[in-house]
Amino acid sequence: EAPGSNNFLKGVRWSPAGGCLLGASDDNVLRVFALPNESLSAEWESVSQAVADCVVAAGSHSDSAVELHCTSSAKAGETIFDFCWYPYATDSEGCFLSTSRDHPIQLWDANNGALRCSYRAFNHLDEIATAYSLAFNADGTKIFAGFNQMIRIFDTATPGRDHEDRPTVSTRRGEGQKGIISSIAVCPAYRGLYAAGSYARSTCLYSEADGQLYAYLEGQKGGVTQVKFSADGNYLFTGGRQDPFIHCWDIRNTCSTVFQMQRVCTTNQRLAFDIEPCGRHLITASEDGTILVYDLSQFGALAGQFSLHQDAVNGISVHPFLPLPYTDLI
């Protein structure tokens, strides 16, 4: 950005293949950054050892930085609410989804930023309904989109306005998951299961096949802003706004949380967290510029912390196989 620019990143995601980083900025532009080849070779020639050692992979802090260059960009029409990579995207042939205010869900080409297609939902006035969260299912054939008290499912291969509506609140009894569906995560181990978080401070587990409600989780002090499964699919982690704790739930016994992990979060800002490739450590951003590393095998014990920025860190994404966390700040 130019000197004096007030633009900032609002979130980052490593591509599934690990060669690109996708970021959404306050100027409503999605940018793809390429990881330099030397980062995949000479600079990281001992990477297999580092990844094998989970503690090194997640908890170490190096003062060295890798400079990334923007290779393509896509201009969204309005404020970007969410974005995600296609699960089988490669470095040479990739695409990603985004959703922005008063616009349809859009699928972009990661190589040149061209719009491939769009998926549209309409409200009762036949106006474009805005999706607030996005996720592909495990095989990439379905798109889950979160709306106000509604989850809509699109067929990836069929762009347009065809979709399945799954209300999260019963129209007769008024029971269910209320509020805007702010985050969706698909279970990596148990096919057919996904989680949805709501700004109404609830998280629910649903069946992918028919939308059946499996579990209703409460306990977040603020609206849920992120849900994420562990690698084995047995645990679900939830974080919220104006809530200093990330909650760990055992989906086999959802009566109460297993443990909690603390961070600084006093505003409505979305603060991200991620789990490193070995699945042992959770790394979270924090409002005070600190990166916190928690050991999941020790019931969320603090394994390390370090300050990377002078301002709030709102995004963090861990590389799928290299010990390369990436953070962004406001």
Q: Are 112 and 124 in contact (CB under 8 A)?
A: no
Determine the pLDDT at residue 5: 67
pLDDT at 25 over 70: yes
pLDDT by residue (tens digit) across 157-170? 999 999 999 999 98
Q: Tell me what pLDDT residue 58 has.
A: 39
Q: How confident is the model at residue 321 (pLDDT cuts 50, 70, 90)?
A: confident
pLDDT for residue 41 is more than 60: no
pLDDT given at position 283: 95
Give the position of tokens 């209320």. Answer: 178
Partner residues linked to 95 by β-bridges: 109
Please say if the pLDDT value at position 290 is more than 60. yes
Percent of the chain with pLDDT over 90: 70
Q: Judge whether residue 286 has pLDDT over 70.
A: yes
Tens of pLDDT, residue by residue over 175-201, are: 899 999 999 999 998 889 999 999 999
The pLDDT of residue 48? 39
Strand partners, 146: 133, 151
CB 160 within 8 A of CB 150: no
Neighbours of 94 (CB within 10 A): 22
Mean pLDDT value of segment 215-224? 94
Q: What are the residues whose beta carbons fall under 8 Å from the beta carbon of 8, sequence distance 6 or more?
A: 25, 26, 328, 329, 330
SS3 206: strand
In the predicted model, what is the mean pLDDT of the chain? 88
pLDDT of the residue at 55: 36
Using a 10 angstrom Cβ sphere, with 0-12 exposed, 13-18 middle and 19 or more buried, the burial of residue 79 is middle
Confidence of residue 118 (pLDDT cuts 50, 70, 90): very high
pLDDT at res. 130: 96
Cα separation, 55 vs 299, in Å, equals 15
Distance CA 187, CA 198 (A): 17
The pLDDT assigned to 328 comes to 64
- pLDDT for position 325: 66
pTM assigned to the model: 0.90
